[in-house]
Amino acid sequence: MNKEMKRETGFTLLEVMVVIIIIGLLATMVLPKVIGRTEEAYVAKAKSDISALSSQLKMYKLDNYTYPSTDQGLQALVSKPDTEPEARNWKGYIERLPKDPWGNDYHYLQPGEHGDFDIWSVGADGKDGGEGNGKDITSWELDQ
């Protein structure tokens, strides 16, 4: 073998440092914009979940002539309820109940105070009410 074929290839320390500096500069420009959008993404996800659950509840009512009771809850979309009101034509509506983006269960009330049923997430603070990031995301505000 000649000397040129034996030559080892790889990156020099200087080349690696230049790449790290470029990645660092890109991160300082991009991360603040992405990080500021996390809460917006969580709210959008919660609204999407609530809208999807509302649609499935309407399908449930079309099949069974009534919405699940508050006691049956949203779980009635996953498994056939064994309490009244009876779900004679239950078909299975979703595979599993989603958690809200903050890891909490969605709340359900039927009859609702704002419509046939109410669905809501308590938001980032995990408590009813709240403002800013802790504001509740509700089905009745989506309908407006």
Which tens digits make up the pLDDT trace of 88-103?
999 999 999 999 999 9
Residue 1 pLDDT exceeds 70:
no
Q: How far is CA 131 from CA 90, 123, 124, 126, 142, in A?
A: 38, 9, 10, 12, 17
Residue 135, pLDDT > 80, answer: yes
What pLDDT does residue 23 have?
86
- Per-residue pLDDT of 6-36, as tens digits, reads 566 777 878 888 888 888 888 777 776 666 6
Within 8 A by CB and 6+ apart from 116, the residues are 61, 67, 110
Domain spanning 38-142: CATH superfamily: Glycoprotein, Type 4 Pilin (3.30.700.10)
Write the Ramachandran bin of 124: left for phi over 0, alpha for psi from -120 to 50, otherwise beta: alpha
Domain ranges of the chain: 38-142
- pLDDT value of position 40: 83
Q: Look at residue 126 in the predicted model and tell me its pLDDT.
A: 84
* Reported confidence tier of residue 131, pLDDT bands at 50, 70, 90: confident
- Indicate the pTM of the whole model: 0.75
Complete DSSP assignment for 38-81: HHHHHHHHHHHHHHHHHHHHHHHHHHHSSPPPTTT-GGGGTS--
pLDDT digits (tens, 9 = 90+) for 50-81: 999 999 999 999 999 999 999 999 999 999 99
